[in-house]
Amino acid sequence: MLMSRHQPLGMSYGAWLGMAGMAIIGVAAAGIAMVAAFFAAFGGAGTFAAYAVFAGLTAVPAIVLWLKGNRYLRASAAGLAAALLSAGVYVLLSPWATMGEGEVERAKAEALASGHPAFYLGDEVNGYPLNDYYLGSDQANFFYGECRQDPNTADDPDPPVCTWDVEIYTSWTDVTIGGDAIAGCVRQEPVAGVPTAHLHDAMLGSNEVVLFTGKSLITIAVEAKPSVEEQLEIAGKVRRVGDAEPAASLPPPRPSSLSYVEENCAPVPER
């Protein structure tokens, strides 16, 4: 049967414009879901937990709209799906995504090539994978888990980019030079046979365990603010970069560093 010349082939321009408008509405709805995910992240949720919130608020409505069968509703579903896919790609490629095996090996190789003693907590610690690192002229730092914004620093004029679940810093500067670098510290039982101290300063927001070995100062910070005993348990996993097992013993510190610790840190508390 011949088609009337007044009946358009396919969809009209108006229908296409309507579908495009509904797709934009879908993307806008995803923006609302993004705000909810942002508040989840601001409240302390990890990157993937925040993405799970976003995924739940976009994937479920997208499925429901698609199953309705109406082409306009399906256009909105497509907009939601596009936003979900884009967010997923961003999370996977973001600096908070887990380092691949090759990146981990490269980080260890660069640390070893520096010629300085560098320490870390293995490829993962307490379920947190090694996720980033920094090598400088006077330090080697390794970061585990996810990097989160700290709500407590929101009003700071120069807030840190983010805070990792577990951070370990190896610095090669003389602790006795440059002021009260470990003021307010309390000595602890030795870890790996070397002097160990706990630093806690509410004003500075520090809550760290420090090991003194050779010419190095090893600082371990845990975002979850665990007890001193839990921090010492994590510190017991310290090893030289590349070693498969924690160090049973580390080189003793310089005599000047040892004297500095004994003079400036409170004695080991009784437990």
Angle at which helix 13-42 crosses helix 71-93, to 10 degrees, equals 40
Here the tokens at position 140 are 């080697």
247/118 Cα distance (integer angstroms): 12
Question: What is the reported pTM?
Answer: 0.62
Q: Which residues of 123-149 are buried (b: 16+ CB within 10 A; e: fewer)?
A: bbbbebebbbbebeeebbbbbbbbbbb
CB distance 164 to 171 below 8 Å: no
pLDDT confidence of residue 4: 46
pLDDT in tens, the chain (271 residues): 444 444 444 567 677 777 777 778 767 776 776 676 656 554 545 556 666 776 777 777 778 877 876 777 777 778 778 877 776 666 555 544 556 677 778 888 888 888 888 999 998 899 888 888 888 888 999 999 888 776 665 566 565 567 888 999 999 877 766 555 566 789 999 999 999 999 877 666 678 999 999 989 999 999 878 888 999 999 999 999 989 999 999 999 988 888 888 888 888 877 6
- How long is the chain? 271
pLDDT confidence of residue 252: 93
pLDDT confidence of residue 203: 62
Closest residue by Cα to residue 107 from 145, 143, 138, 133:
133
CB distance 170 to 253 below 8 Å: no
DSSP character string of 50-74? HHHHHHHHHHHHHHHHHHH--HHHH
261/253 Cα distance (integer angstroms): 10
Amino acid at 144: Y
The domain locations on the chain are 13-93, 101-264
CB distance 172 to 216 below 8 Å: yes
DSSP character string of the chain? -PPPTTSPSS--HHHHHHHHHHHHHHHHHHHHHHHHHHHHHHTT--HHHHHHHHHHHHHHHHHHHHHH--HHHHHHHHHHHHHHHHHHHHHHHSTTSPPPHHHHHHHHHHHHHTSS--EE--SEETTEEEEEEEE-SSEEEEEEEEEE--GGGTT-SS--S-EEEEEEEEE-S-TTSSS-TTTTEEEEEEETTEEEEEEEETTTTEEEEEEEEBTEEEEEEETT---HHHHHHHHTT-EETT-SS--S--PPBPHHHHHHHHHHSBPPPP-
